Amino acid sequence: MLTLYVKTGCPFCHKVLDVGRELGITFEEKNIADDVVAAELVARGGKQQVPYLIDSEHEVEMYESGDISEYLRAQYPKK
């Protein structure tokens, strides 16, 4: 399962979501506009920065849209 922490209007989040659409990937999106979700992100990753990807299948968690996009393209190439 892929979980992506996002913030409404975040261009970096849109970049990752666009890559997901390109590759046919669906994410469980969690928006940090919700204070509970924001606190969950900080507890998990250490900072309130988005996008933040959790790939529970491969036990990978990461920040940075460029790194996330590169990871998705390598791990989940378009079929």
Q: What global pTM score does this model have?
A: 0.94
Q: Mean pLDDT, 10 residues at a time, over the chain (79 residues)?
A: 97 98 96 98 96 97 98 91
Which residues, at least 6 apart from 7, have a Cβ–Cβ distance to it below 8 Å? 13, 31, 32, 33, 50
Domains identified in the chain and CATH numbers: 2-75 (3.40.30.10)
Predicted pLDDT of residue 6 = 98
Predicted pLDDT of residue 75 = 96
Predicted pLDDT of residue 79 = 65
Predicted pLDDT of residue 78 = 82
Burial class (CB within 10 angstroms; exposed 0-12, middle 13-18, buried 19+) of 57 = exposed
